[in-house]
Every structure is written in C-alpha cells, then in structure tokens.
C-alpha cells in the first residue's frame, strides 16, 4: 500500500497489509481437532464428542488474528475405512488437506504415533504443502516423552515447525496463531470480518443436535445416525421454529433415541435448543422427530446432505 498525505500536509499512517490463508487440520480420530478449531475461532463451529469420527465433512472455522484471516478446515479423523461412509470421510479429509495452504497435523500426545497416526505420517511424506506438527493434550504427558514423540515425528516427516499445546485449556494456542499470521502471504480476506463459519445455519443446527445425541447416548447409539434440518421458519415475534429429523437404521435404535417415556429425546431437545438460542441470539422452538431409514449409510442423497461424495466402488 502507498502512503497518502493528510489534510495538514503530513503523511497519513500506512495501513497494515492484510494476510489470509487456509489451514487443514488433519489427524487421527479424537485427536482434538474440533476442540482446537473452536478454540481458535472463539466460538463453536464444529461439534465435539468423545465418540470417534463425529466430524464427517470438512468444516471451515474463520478466525481473525492480528492482521490475518485464518480459515481452519476441520477435517474428519483419518482412520482405516471399512464402510462407504468411512471411505467418504477419509477421502474428504485428504481432499481438505490438498486444498490448504498449510497442513496442521494434530497428534494426541497420550496415544502417540500408534496406529492411524503412523499411517498418516507415511502418507504426509508425499504431500507438497508446508506442514506443522502440533502435539495436543501435553498436560497429560511427561515433558521428556513429549520431546521423544516430537523427535520421532520429525524424523518421519519434514515439519516446518512443532508446537506443543492443550486445546482444552488454550495453552500454546496463541503461538500457533502468531506463526500462521506471520507466515501467510499478503492478500485480501476471503470472508467478511464477522463471519466465523461457512456452514449454513440449518446445517450447523443439525450438527448441534447430532452432538447432543452423541453426548446423551454415548455407546448406546450406533454410529449410523444422521440429523437433518427440514423446516426453518423465522417468526414475527423474533423467534425461529426448527424441525429436525433424526434418522436411524433400525427400530431398536429409534427406541434408544426416544428413551423411556421419551426422556432421552426430551433431554437432547432441551440441550440442543439452549445452544441454538445462544448462537442465534433469538428464541428457538425446536421439534425433533425420529425416523427409521434402513441402510441410509448406502444412500447417496444422505451423503450429499452431509457434504460428502458418495463412493462409487
């Protein structure tokens, strides 16, 4: 940017050039990617659950740090796929990595490089983008073990930087933001300053209910469940009426979601409605329905609804 003269004959201050870029967060399931994205953005844009593989498609969370707009792409956890849905999620994760300017590999320090983490490192060797390693949950691991873990990972892949953080407490997260803000090239921002996600509100609302579903039922509910927002009606009194359908594959699963005397579905609805009201900053009237759709995991339409490409093989 060029300097301009002010009305009093002096020079106006030169505006700081803006920077922007995309960061793909990849890693094994339950490494803490969604928690970290929400931490960076300062608001919930991706659902968090102890149940593995809760993130299914690439979610974008948008953060402003100093003069930089950083777009974080929260990808599904990478694991060995078994079903069509699994394959679509893993494909989505690697697709997100290919579209990014920088790849951030998040590793759970407690689990280390066992299993999926080791396979991801092997695959990353052929990825051309700059890569940074982030070791998460450092408050649960001895310092000497952290340094050993970092050394092994850097021996496998050439990382530009290594960070050690706790996504839950925020320890070390500002260091990552500083690094990204300084590393990205100068350029215009991709999104308006007040936008924190590229998810339509209908889809974000469905994700919120899916999270409450997992948190309430834990291991009782099989992984094969899906939530769709079917009706979104803005009302004259400033409130919004939302109708959502929870799809399961069998009648036995429907009974689990409903719970005894409807207790489970009521608790899920209450928790979901409360969070939606806080995010939307308006009253929410939420109505949940449970339907059985057998073998929905092989339905291309459901994949499109989730933002995934249906595997053809």
pLDDT confidence bin for 5, thresholds 50/70/90: very low
**pLDDT number for residue 52:** 39
User: Which of the listed ranges 137-141, 279-283, 291-295, 302-306 does the model predict with the highest average pLDDT?
Assistant: 137-141
For the chain, what is the mean pLDDT?
81
pLDDT category at 272 given cuts 50, 70, 90 is very high
Cβ contact 306:227 at 8 Å: no
* Residue 58: pLDDT over 50: yes
pLDDT of residue 219: 65
Q: How far apart are CA 91 and CA 153, in angstroms?
A: 23
Question: Across residues 195-212, what is the average pLDDT?
Answer: 83
- ∠279-198-275 over CA atoms, to 5°? 15
pLDDT classification of 3: cutoffs 50, 70, 90: very low
Mean pLDDT: which of 26-30, 119-123, 232-236 is highest? 232-236
Provide the pLDDT for residue 137: 93
Pairing of strands 284-292, 240-248: parallel
CB 135 within 8 A of CB 159: no
Entry pTM = 0.68
DSSP, res 138: G
Q: Do 129 and 97 meet the contact criterion of CB atoms below 8 Å apart?
A: yes
E strands in 176-239: 226-234
Give the confidence band of 179 by pLDDT, cuts at 50, 70, 90.
very high
Higher pLDDT, 53 or 204: 204
Tell whether the model's pLDDT for residue 82 goes beyond 60.
no
* More confident of the two residues 29 and 247: 247
Which stretch of DSSP H or E encloses residue 74? strand 68-74
Q: Is the pLDDT of residue 181 over 90?
A: yes
Beta-carbon count within 10 A of 160 CB: 13
The listed range with the strongest mean pLDDT (39-43, 50-54, 227-231) is 227-231
Q: Is the pLDDT of residue 78 over 90?
A: no
């Amino acid at each position: 940017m060029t300097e301009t003269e002010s009305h009093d004959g002096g020079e106006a201050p030169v505006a700081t050039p803006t920077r922007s870029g995309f960061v793909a967060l990849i890693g094994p399931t339950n490494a803490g990617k969604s928690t970290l994205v929400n931490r960076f953005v300062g608001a919930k844009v991706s659902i968090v659950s102890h149940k593995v593989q809760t993130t299914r498609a690439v979610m974008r969370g948008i953060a402003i740090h100093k003069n930089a707009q950083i777009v974080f792409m929260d990808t599904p956890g990478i694991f060995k796929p078994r079903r069509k849905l699994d394959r679509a999620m893993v494909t989505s994760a690697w697709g997100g990595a290919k579209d990014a300017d920088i790849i951030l590999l998040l590793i759970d320090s407690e689990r280390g490089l066992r299993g999926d983490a080791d396979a991801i490192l092997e695959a990353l060797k052929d990825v051309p983008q700059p890569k940074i390693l982030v070791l998460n949950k450092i408050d649960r691991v001895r310092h000497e073990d952290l340094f050993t873990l970092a050394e092994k990972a850097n021996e496998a892949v050439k990382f530009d930087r290594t960070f050690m953080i706790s996504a839950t407490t925020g320890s070390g997260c500002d260091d990552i933001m500083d690094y990204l803000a300084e590393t990205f090239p100068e350029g215009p921002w991709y999104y308006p300053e007040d936008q924190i996600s590229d998810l339509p509100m209908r889809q974000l609302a469905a994700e919120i209910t899916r999270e409450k579903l997992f948190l309430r039922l834990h291991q009782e509910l099989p992984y094969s469940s899906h939530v769709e927002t079917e009706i979104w009606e803005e009302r004259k009194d400033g409130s919004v009426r939302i109708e959502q359908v929870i799809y399961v594959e069998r009648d036995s699963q429907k009974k689990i979601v409903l719970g005894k005397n409807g207790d489970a579905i009521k608790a899920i609805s209450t928790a979901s409605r409360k969070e939606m009201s806080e995010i939307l900053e308006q009253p929410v009237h939420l109505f949940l329905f449970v339907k059985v759709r057998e073998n929905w995991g092989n339905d291309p339409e459901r994949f499109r609804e989730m933002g995934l490409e249906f595997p053809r093989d």
